[in-house]
Amino acid sequence: MNPYHIPENALITVAGTVGVGKSTLTAALAERLGFRTSLEQVEHNPYLEKFYDDFERWVFHLQIYFLGERFKEQKRMFELGGGFVQDRSIYEDTGIFAKMHADQGTMSATDYATYAQLYEAMVMTPYFPHPHVLIYLEGSLPAILNRIQERGREMEIHTDRSYWENMYNRYSSWIETFDACPVLKLNIEEYDVHDPASMDDILRQVSESIRGTAATV
């Protein structure tokens, strides 16, 4: 058992908008806990660049691809018995990305319905237990846009600010109604992944959230 009394089979999911710091925190938490990571693969995604170039043409392909990747990851985590920190939840694919493109008309109603049907069928399988806790990363939009710039993925840098603004607003509303598992909100200005005391503090909060003893603000 780790010093934080976080169950060895726990599934901790890190959520939040693009560039907010999910992958960085996922890796830092997993290292500290001796957990495995489940990461989003950007480099080997065959649709992502095409998608940023032409949303309408590629959105359905991309959503199906992400769904397939997540299904494989969920199956892997299930079969290995947990003990994972996961970079982004499946709830965000459907509740943020697919919905945003359907609402703004870059994904047709028919494609969205087909996608939603597939998603519903997948989450009914045993591979989709709710996470023990969802860590939600929040910060100001300018700080997040800076991080996207600094990370330097061309396809994201060349995407209109309104896209990120829309996503940011959707995330802010979405998290207020999210209730599939306990939520721990962390402000990105208030922790440092390189500071052991800061990571200890986060892990204590994770543990409290999982055990249902977190203070409600």
Ligand X SMILES: Nc1ncnc2c1ncn2[C@H]1C[C@H](O)[C@@H](COP(=O)(O)O)O1
Ligand Y SMILES: Nc1ncnc2c1ncn2[C@@H]1O[C@H](COP(=O)(O)OP(=O)(O)O)[C@@H](O)[C@H]1O
- Any idea which residues carry the catalytic annotation? 87
- Tell me whether residue 123 or residue 193 sits nearer to ligand Y (CB atom): 193
Measured from the CB of residue 65, what is the shortest distance to ligand X in angstroms? 9
Q: Which does 21 bind (CB under 5 to 8 A by kind): ligand X, ligand Y, none?
A: ligand Y
**Do the Cβ atoms of 86 and 38 come closer than 8 Å?**
yes
Measured from the CB of residue 165, what is the shortest distance to ligand X in angstroms? 15
Q: Which does 156 bind (CB under 5 to 8 A by kind): ligand Y, ligand X, none?
A: ligand X
Distance CA 199, CA 208 (A): 14
Distance from the Cα of residue 57 to its chain's centroid: 24
- Tell me whether residue 63 or residue 207 sits nearer to ligand X (CB atom): 63
**Residues found near ligand Y in the complex (CB under 6 A):** 16, 18-24, 147, 150-151, 188, 193
Q: Which does 180 bind (CB under 5 to 8 A by kind): ligand X, ligand Y, none?
A: none
Residue type (1 letter), 149: Q
Instruction: Determine whether the annotation assigns residue 52 to a binding site.
Output: yes
- Tell me whether residue 188 or residue 214 sits nearer to ligand Y (CB atom): 188
Backbone angles phi, psi at 187, to 5 degrees: -90, 130
**Residues found near ligand X in the complex (CB under 6 A):** 18-19, 22-23, 40, 42, 48, 62-63, 66, 88, 93, 97, 156
Q: Which does 43 bind (CB under 5 to 8 A by kind): ligand X, ligand Y, none?
A: none
The 8 Å CB, 24+ separation contacts for 6-10 are: 6/33, 6/203, 6/206, 6/207, 6/210, 7/82, 7/132, 7/210, 8/82, 8/83, 9/81, 9/82, 9/83, 10/35, 10/82, 10/83, 10/84, 10/132, 10/133, 10/210
Instruction: Determine whether the annotation assigns residue 94 to a binding site.
Output: no
